[in-house]
Structure 1
Amino acid sequence: MRTSTRIAGVLTGLTLALGGGAALMAPAAQADVTQCINQVESELQGGEAPDSVSMACYVGLTGDQAKCVSGLTESRVSDATAASACEAAPK
């Protein structure tokens, strides 16, 4: 299992543990974080995204788009990819 997928699963588990009644959203939440990470990894052309990307995508899942984009650009992701990846996170 890729590290980015494993981190997305852990973050989803933490969200469920802290959110209580959010159990119905678990599969969608994991898919959304994974979609965000996958968009970044496609820019890296096969490279695995660092943990900072996973954390930024998780922030995007919570709805803080500006913080998600800034987190991704700090991880050396292009502005265009960061914006589209963060848009994918909360969907």
Structure 2
Amino acid sequence: MRTSTHVAGVLTGLALALGGTALTAPAAHADVTACINQVERELRGGEAPSYVRTACFTGQSGDHEGCVTTLTKGGGVTNGTAVTACKVAP
């Protein structure tokens, strides 16, 4: 294999690997944002309190029940909204 071909192949692989990482990171954040937005629609009171953010990050980590419990016990989010919000978090 020629050196120029080899270098081009390595650079292409590196670009694809780094590009895939960059595209994956915002998606995870978007899921937490979707969770928070779901709760904010019900609360209709501006920015979500800190317990909502904590619950949505808990849901993103895979603890669906913990997410729902934190939302419903934290400040009056209905069970239906909590379940829906926590489903979009992971």
Per the normalisation by structure 2, the TM-score is: 0.70
Q: How does 1:27-38 map to 2 (within 5 A)?
A: 27-38=26-37
Partner residue, 1:45: 44
- The higher radius of gyration belongs to 2
Which position in structure 2 is the counterpart of 1:58? 57
- Structure number with the higher helix fraction is 2
Structure 1 stretches of at least 4 aligned residues deviating more than 4 Å after TM superposition? none
What fraction of aligned residue pairs are identical, expressed as a percent? 58
Given the two structures, how large is their TM-score scaled by the length of structure 1?
0.70
Counterparts of residues 5-44 of structure 1 (less than 5 Å): 25-44=24-43
1:62 maps to a residue whose letter is S
Q: C-alpha distance in 2, partners of 1:45/1:72?
A: 15
Query: RMSD of the TM alignment (CA)?
Result: 1.4
Partners in 2 of 1:29 and 1:60 — Cα distance? 11
| Count, aligned residues | 69
- Structure 1 residue 65: deviation in Å? 0.3
Give 5+ residue unaligned stretches, structure 2. 1-20
